[in-house]
Amino acid sequence: MAVITISRQVAALGDEIAAATAKLLGYKFIDRKAIEQHIINLGFPADKLKKYDEVKPGFFASLAKDRDEYLDYLQTAILESAAEGNCILIGRGSFIILEDVPNLVALRFVSKDKVRMSRLMAEFSWDEKKARQRIEESDSNRLGFHKSFFNLENEDPTHFHMVINSSLLNVDAAAQTIADFCAHFITPEKEAAGQKKITELLAAQHLVNSLIFEHKLNINFLRAVIFDKTITLQGVADSSALAEKAVAVASSLMPGYTVESAISVVQDFKAYP
């Protein structure tokens, strides 16, 4: 079956539609709190999470090493969840982390501002000014989050299979539309190819985590790409010796694979203050 990701505006009924779709399809809905807890369980400090989790990092936070560590843990959490299959993931750039997965169904939920304001005012007993402030803050944070971590516009509709306006479709109608789309779009071939791709992506991310967190290799922006039986390491190191060590360690961790380096060597490179 599919792995469904959801990008949403605040008060566009993202959680409600996701929950209804999960019930209809018999999928697991992995909500905001579950993803947060997964990131923490992997090792990212809970007290630092609020600086990065679906918000635009402040100036100093964006320059800190914690930023890249958060991204590594985030990608691991998303990939480990997707590996379970038959799931719905909400937010956190999951649609871009899984963009190359053949059985991905990426959705975005939007709604008219006046409708979003009305929903917030009814839910929290806010006045119009407070509701508008919440919308502007949320939209800005989500835009900044995706720009900072993935260098993309989360509002760009070309990233999604469908964009659903919840001002026009109610929760049940939206859920049924998604279920019908999945039934026609996802084939056994796409499902098999998707499972293979997620396995490769997760193996690559686990390798990166091992090199950074266990072997303490100070390679910035480290990424591993697996294609067939070849692993290519990418990133920035301050010496060729460090890049060579990364290849040697990766080769020992991934027997049966050929490990190649595409790591850029920049002497005196300092990514963090």
pTM for this prediction: 0.92
CA 16 distance to own-chain centroid? 20
What is the crossing angle of helices 188-209 and 65-83, to 10°?
150
In this prediction, residue 18 carries a pLDDT of 97
The Cα–Cα gap between 61 and 78 comes to: 22
Q: What is the pLDDT of residues 221-257, one digit of tens each?
A: 999 999 999 999 999 999 999 999 999 999 999 999 9
Note whether 5 and 150 are within 8 A (CB). no
Chain mean pLDDT for the chain: 93
- Residue 68 makes CB contacts below 8 A (sequence gap 6+) with 220, 221, 271
Neighbours of 137 (CB within 10 A): 12
Q: Parallel, antiparallel, or unpaired: how do β-strands 220-227 and 230-237 relate?
A: antiparallel
In this prediction, residue 34 carries a pLDDT of 93
In this prediction, residue 136 carries a pLDDT of 96
Long-range CB pairs of 251-257, under 8 A, 24+ apart, other chains included: 253/207, 253/210, 254/203, 254/207, 256/229, 257/226, 257/229, 257/230, 257/231
Let me know if 146 is exposed, middle or buried by CB neighbors in 10 A (0-12, 13-18, 19+): buried
Phi, psi of 127 (to 5 degrees): -85, 175
Q: What residues of the chain score a pLDDT lower than 70? A: 59-64, 268-273
Q: Parallel, antiparallel, or unpaired: how do β-strands 162-165 and 87-90 relate?
A: unpaired
- Residue 58 makes CB contacts below 8 A (sequence gap 6+) with 51
The Cα–Cα gap between 194 and 169 comes to: 29
In this prediction, residue 58 carries a pLDDT of 76
In this prediction, residue 60 carries a pLDDT of 57
Read off the tokens for 231: 């692993």
